[in-house]
Amino acid sequence: MGDDDNSQGRDKGLEMKKDIRCLMLSSTNYTVWSMRMKVMLRLYDVWDTIDPGSDDAKKNNMEAIKSRNLGADGMREARLQTLISEFDKLKMADTDTVDDYAGKLSGIASRAAALGEIMEASKMVKKFLKGLPRTKFIHIVASLEQVLDLNSTGFEDIVGRLKAFEERIKEETQDEGQSKLMFGKNDMQGSGSHNNS
């Protein structure tokens, strides 16, 4: 009877070890991945191979998982707060294009999503419009706010509309610049012919 109880205990222990899954290492989860790998290697009693001087290999590893994950959660929360602060402060620089600015916002949103925080499209849209330089975009922003429901308009839609506006302004500025250049050139030629008379 003792052998049966012993073999059942071993089988249960092996079963518990099979339930522990390896987290896939990515560019954003090294800290959590390394902690989980360390605990898993301890559970399989092979941690001494990596760290031979370790004398706490027989501690309650399930408790270690819990305490390490609490620490990882704290770190995740701190990183998330930093990203939210960065998101709140971000504004489009005068040298940025609409694409540049949208890319910065999207980058912050994707890093936040990797930490488990999904930013709603309406929040992204409102932040995008609020961060645009007023002198350059005030008319289009006012028009969009009047015409569209910003709570249901997609981020890509707003970015597309602003890119089209930016392109239109760029064309107008180039045409105006060329007209001034042509006028200036004609003016110079005209004044030169008066001098020759």
Q: What is the pLDDT of residues 39-66, one digit of tens each?
A: 777 777 777 776 665 555 445 565 665 5
> How many CB atoms are closer than 10 A to CB 67?
11
Res. 197 pLDDT band, cuts 50 70 90 = very low
- Give the helix/strand (H/E) hosting 191: helix 155-196
Task: Name residues whose C-beta falls within 8 Å of residue 86's C-beta, 6 or more positions apart in sequence.
Answer: 108
- Domain hosting 7: range is 1-76
**pLDDT tens-digit series, residues 58-100:** 455 656 655 555 556 778 888 889 999 999 999 999 889 999 9
Residue 136 has pLDDT above 70, yes or no: yes
Residue 63 lies in a domain: yes
Question: What pTM, to 2 d.p., does this model score?
Answer: 0.53
Residue 169 lies in a domain: no
Q: Which two tokens stand for residue 84?
A: 């939210």
Residue 13 lies in a domain: yes
Residue 47 lies in a domain: yes
Residue 27 lies in a domain: yes
How many domains does the chain divide into?
Answer: 1
CA distance 15 to 48: 22
**pLDDT tens-digit series, residues 142-184:** 999 999 999 999 999 999 999 999 998 888 877 666 666 555 5
Residue 148 lies in a domain: no
Residue 91 lies in a domain: no
Task: Report yes or no: 105 and 127 within 8 Å, Cβ to Cβ.
Answer: yes
Residue 174 lies in a domain: no
Task: Give phi and psi for 120, each to the nearest 5.
Answer: -65, 150
